[in-house]
A and B are shown apart, each in its own frame.
Chain A
Amino acid sequence: MKLTVNGQVGDFECQTAFQIRDLVGQENGIIILNGYQIEEDYPLAENDIITIIPKGVMPKQDELESMMMARHTPHVHERLKKGKVAIAGLGGLGSNIAVMLARSGVGQLLLVDFDLVEPSNLNRQSYYISHLGMPKTIALKKQIEQINPFILVEVKTTRVTEENVVELFSGYDIICEAFDKAREKAMLVNTVLEKLPDVKIVAASGLAGYDSSNLIQTKKVMKNLYICGDFINEAKIGRGLMAPRVHICAGHQANMVLRLLLGIEDV
């Protein structure tokens, strides 16, 4: 029957997952069938996707990508691989969105930020001590190369202004608004809605402090505009930004991006 084994489509006589594992010659390898890791043998069906991963060895380059994506729901990766997503602002939201989209295998990412990594970023942003002083664009690109080397990452180390929005973001399907300042959020959203009418924007508003996680939501507020957050809790003197709520909101944004890339417009 026709199966995809470690990323290669072929015709196999095997009837069960264990038979494939033995055929591949990895008796102790883990078995992932259609996105789910199985422990017991399972009958195979036409067009199943099965990945056998040996532990403790570096896989061959041509098998690595299929192994990395083996836990995805079948056929999701092919669609995400075609996605082009821009991330405006690489702070608590943007750096974590970028990492999640890279792990998901979104094929092309544009990372935009003007700033350098400094110590107060580390309580919520995806950077390490070794990145202090580096441009956020470069520090994040280096991480992504270690997380998923199979995607294209473009960086622009510059401040986003009303004047350069079209030049910076043209050619991308979706823009994640991930700025810190409310005025910059509004500037980007307004400019994109006005000047890039075919682009969807996934923005954030209200994620500071440590109020209930469950207040953070995704809402579709306009035809091309989604906003994630609690819409209320702004960062201000006396109310800080903490990793959990920032990550929850970044997760909302990243999931909405995946949904849009998979053709789902509902929140």
Chain B
Amino acid sequence: MLFLLFTEGSGLMKVNGKVIPLEESKSLQDFLLEKNYDLRLIAVELNGKVVPKSAYKDVMLNNEDKLEIVSFVGGG
């Protein structure tokens, strides 16, 4: 049981369902810019909760986090 808890607790960050290990702690904004997202065109959910644009700079990512990023393209 203890072992199970331990392995669950040391999970890796998941971004849109894919495992992406976080090598160092960084802000959501730095992560998004590093992955070439245009911050004006996206919506982000962290662990099931939407992250307001104004908080991108302050939210720090950790391993175990689950991140959903959607990026919009134009046309309608």
A207–B75 contact, CB under 8 A?
yes
Interface size class of A (residues with CB under 8 A): 35 or more
Closest Cβ of chain B: how far from A249's Cβ, in Å? 8
The 8 A CB mask of B56-76 against A (1 = contact, 0 = none) is: 000000000000101111111
Given known A193-B50, A221-B70, contact A186–B76 (CB-CB < 8 A): no
Note all chain B residues with C-beta closer than 8 A to A128: none
Residue in B40, B52, B68, B75 whose beta carbon sits within 8 Å of that of A221 in the complex: B68
> Which of A30-38, A41-49, A143-151, A223-231 lines the interface with chain B?
A223-231
Instruction: List 19 other contacts, CB 8 Å, given A206-B73, A225-B45.
Output: A89-B76, A91-B76, A93-B76, A180-B75, A180-B76, A182-B72, A182-B73, A183-B40, A186-B41, A186-B42, A186-B43, A190-B53, A204-B76, A208-B74, A222-B68, A234-B74, A234-B75, A235-B73, A235-B74
> How far is A179 from B73 in the complex, measured between Cα atoms in Å?
11
B76–A246 contact, CB under 8 A?
yes
Residue in A94, A183, A193 whose beta carbon sits within 8 Å of that of B41 in the complex: A183
The answer to whether the Cβ of B48 comes within 8 Å of any Cβ in the partner chain is: yes
Interface residue tally for chain B (C-beta within 8 Å): 17
Measured CB to CB, the nearest residue on chain A to B40 is A183
Closest Cβ of chain A: how far from B64's Cβ, in Å? 19
